[in-house]
Amino acid sequence: MSKLWQKNIDSAPCVERYTVGADRKMDLYLARADVLGSLAHTRMLASVGLMSQDDLELVQRGLKEIYRRIESGDFEIAEGVEDVHSQIEFMLTETVGEAGKKIHSGRSRNDQVLVDLKLFLRERVRQTVLSVERLFNKLQELSRQHRDVLMPGYTHLQIAMPSSFGLWFGAYAESLADDLEMLLAAYRVCDKNPLGSAAGYGSSFPLDRTMTTRLLGFETLNYNVVYAQMGRGKCERIVAQAMSSVAATLSRLAFDNCLFLSQNFGFISYPADLTTGSSIMPHKKNPDVWEIMRGKCNLLQALPGQIVSLTTNLPLGYNRDLQLLKEVLFPAMESLTESIDMALFMLSHIEVRRGITDNPMYDYMFSVEVVNNEVLSGVPFREAYRKVGLDIEAGKFSPSRTLHHTHEGSIGNLCTDEITARFNEVLARFDFDRAVKAEAELVR
C-alpha cells in the first residue's frame, strides 16, 4: 500500500487491513475539503517564501483540476493507496511533477485531516441548517393553516384538555428553533482553523496561519497548537450533540404521526402511496416512513455517547482511535438530513381530520373549561373543581365547548410570528456567506 510516510519497511498485510479499515471509503467524504485545504496552504507557502511562484501556479492548476473531478464524481481512492491525502498528492505529482511533492511543507497529516474535518463538518452543518429551515417553515405554514382545528390533548396517554393542530404543528416548529441554537454552537466550533498546528506542536517554518484562516473562510483560529489537536473528537462530539437534538425532535414527531394515523385515533391521513400495505391484511396502511424515521433518529440520539466512548481518556496528541469517529459520524450526518427532508415531504401531503372533538367521547376533555367558567363567576377554584368532579361521577356533566384560551402560546394565541422571528434571529447569526465565498474564490 502506498503511504506518504513510508520509508523502506512494509507493514504486515493483516496490520494494514486492520488499521486502515474503512478509512479509504470514509475519506471520500473529505476529498473536496482536502483540496480546499491544500489550495489555501500552498498559497500561504508561496507568500512566506517556501514555494516559488512557478511551482504555486502549477500546483494550484493541478489541485483545481482534481477538485473539478471530485465535484463531477470522477474521483476515487485507488486500490493500494492509504487515504485521500495520499491519493490527492500522488495525482498532483503525476500531473505537475516535483512541485506536487512540496505541498506538505509545514503541515502534518494530523492538521491536514483536522482542517478537512472542520471544512467538511462546517459544510454539513450548513446543509442541515438549510434543511431544518425548510421543515420549520412547513410546520409554521401548517400551524397557521390549522390554527382553529381542534384536537384532543393528552397526558399519560389519557384524554386531557383541548388542543389544536395549529398548536401541535407549532410545537415542533418551536422545538426546531431551540435545536437551531445547538446547531449554531456546533457551527461556531467547526468555524475555527487548526491548519498550522502540524502534529500538535507547531512548526519552525514561518507559517501565516491568519492567512489560511482568511483564505478558507474560517471565523478565527484554533490558536493553541496543542489544543487544536485536542479538539479532534471534541468538535465531532459537539456536532453530534446538535444532531441528536434535531433527531429527538424528529423522533417525537414521527411517533405522533404513527399514533395519530392509527385507526384508534384517526386524526390524520396520508395518500395511499406514502404508506405501505400488509402481506396478509388488505386493509392496512402502515406508517413505515415515520417508523423508519423514528428508528433512525433514536439511533442518532445515541451518537454523542458513541463518540464519548471512543474519545474518553485518550492521552494528549493524536491517537489512531480517532480514525473510527468518521465511521460513526459521516453516515449519521447523511441519515439526519435525509430524515429531515423526508419529514418535510410527508408533511407536505398530510391531511388533517376536522370535527374530531365533536364526538361525545371527548366531552370530559372540556371539564377544565367548565371549572374555569365557574371560577370566573366567583366560585372558589377548589369548590368548582369538586362540583364538576362530582357531576362527572354522577353522569350529570354537561360540557361547554366554548374556549377562551388567549394567553401567549395557547390555542387562541399561537405566537407564530414571534416564534418565526426568534428562529430567523438565530439563523441570521450563521455567517454562511463568508465560508461559501471563500471556498468559491479558492477554486476559481
3-state secondary structure of 151: strand
Q: Which of 4-13, 124-133, 422-431 has the lowest mean pLDDT?
A: 4-13
State the CB neighbour count (10 A cutoff) for residue 102. Answer: 19
Nearest to 192 by CA among 251, 275, 245, 114: 114
Contact 173, 143 (CB under 8 A): yes
The DSSP output letter for 273 is G
Nearest to 372 by CA among 386, 385, 362: 385
Confidence of residue 26 (pLDDT cuts 50, 70, 90): confident
Burial 120-130 (b: 16+ CB within 10 A, else e): bbbbbbbebbe
**pLDDT mean over 337-358:** 96
Cα 74 to Cα 79, 96, 405: the distances in Å are 15, 19, 60
pLDDT attached to residue 11: 64
Q: Which fold has domain 109-145+163-206+223-357+415-443?
A: Fumarase C; Chain A, domain 2 (1.20.200)
**pLDDT mean over 238-263:** 97
For the four alpha carbons of 116, 99, 68 and 79, in that order, the dihedral sign comes to: negative
State the CB neighbour count (10 A cutoff) for residue 69. Answer: 15
Per-residue pLDDT tens over the stretch 381-426? 999 899 889 988 888 888 878 888 888 998 989 999 999 999 999 9
In the beta sheet, which residues pair with residue 81?
Answer: 2
The pLDDT mean for the chain works out to: 91
Distance of CA 387 to the CA centre of its chain: 51
C-alpha cell at 391: 357531576
Region(s) of the chain under CATH 1.20.200.10: 109-145+163-206+223-357+415-443
Nearest to 90 by CA among 68, 107, 75: 75
Q: Which helix (H) or strand (E) holds 154?
A: strand 150-155
Per-residue pLDDT tens over the stretch 65-115? 999 999 999 999 988 888 899 999 999 999 999 999 999 999 998 999 999
pLDDT attached to residue 53: 97
Contact 88, 38 (CB under 8 A): yes
d(CA 396, CA 394) in angstroms, rounded, equals: 5
Res 129 pLDDT > 50: yes
Look up the CATH architecture of domain 13-102.
Answer: Orthogonal Bundle (1.10)
pLDDT attached to residue 5: 47
pLDDT attached to residue 1: 46
The angle formed by the CA atoms of residues 32, 35 and 40, to the nearest 5 degrees, is 130
State the SS3 of 318-361: CCHHHHHHHHHHHHHHHHHHHHHHHHHHHHCCCEECCCHHHCHH
Res 319 pLDDT > 90: no
Region(s) of the chain under CATH 1.10.275.10: 13-102
What spatial distance separates the first Cα and last Cα of the chain, rounded to whole Å? 33
pTM: 0.91
Res 9 pLDDT > 80: no
Nearest to 320 by CA among 4, 13, 18: 18
Q: Where are the beta strands (DSSP E) in 235-314?
A: 268-269
- Read off φ and ψ for residue 9, nearest 5 degrees: -125, 125
Res 264 pLDDT > 80: yes
Res 24 pLDDT > 80: no
3-state secondary structure of 71: helix
Per-residue pLDDT tens over the stretch 283-316? 667 899 999 999 999 999 999 999 998 888 887 7
